Amino acid sequence: MSVLVVTGTCTGVGKTIVTAALAALAAARGAAVAVVKPGQTGAAPGEPGDLDDVRRLAGVADLHEYARFPDPLSPAAAARHAGLPPLRLTDAAERVHALAESRDLVLVEGAGGLLVRYDDEGTTVADLARWLGAAAVVVARPDLGTLNHTALTLEAMAHRGVQPAGVVIGEWPEKPDLAMRSNVRDLETIAARPLAGAFPAGAGSLEPAEFLLAAHAALAPPFGGTFDPAVFRADHDPLT
């Protein structure tokens, strides 16, 4: 059994797409995969959430959401605004542990960035990853500003005892600008390891069969894909 957390440098970076891709590749290998979204914000009861995107793209049905708040805020703020009790990540950790006993892989997608608060005490997905003993995939933007956000995220993970599983660019455009192309080398320097993947912009709109092919090409071999960071760097780094 294995648990892997998917977090990001900020909101809207492509965490759900990366989560769906990890699930799709694991399921294609015959693994029993569960996907957990501990706290869904910005979706009212009955409305589609991130797990619906995972189901559509990856074809995985073993999906678990522990709390939902209608406002597009941090889980802590969304709970306060809705007059609902916050999600207790200690409870979520116990439920994920129970899932992991009978699954080959449990993927846990956080809300927003690594240090987004889930309650007024300041509990974050970094705490959840530490309690689970899980490494975390960091999903980053490619554009200007991502180097600082990624460095801060990785530094916070190290400070909290969370092992990085790799940095993945969540949305790589067809025509990257100079800053994006320069950031490829610098992201690897910050992470002290090659990139673990890069997803083409618009991957979330693909049909499931196309998405599986895209996931295979966009994620590195440790995750079941064929992404080669050296080739990606050579294709895009303006200094190569």
By annotation, the residues acting in catalysis are 37
Of 48, 52, 46, 45, nearest in space to 69 by CA: 45
What Cα–Cα distance (Å) separates residue 188 from each residue in 47, 140, 143, 193, 225?
38, 12, 14, 5, 19
Exposure letters 156-166 (e unless 16+ CB within 10 A, then b): bbeeeebebbb
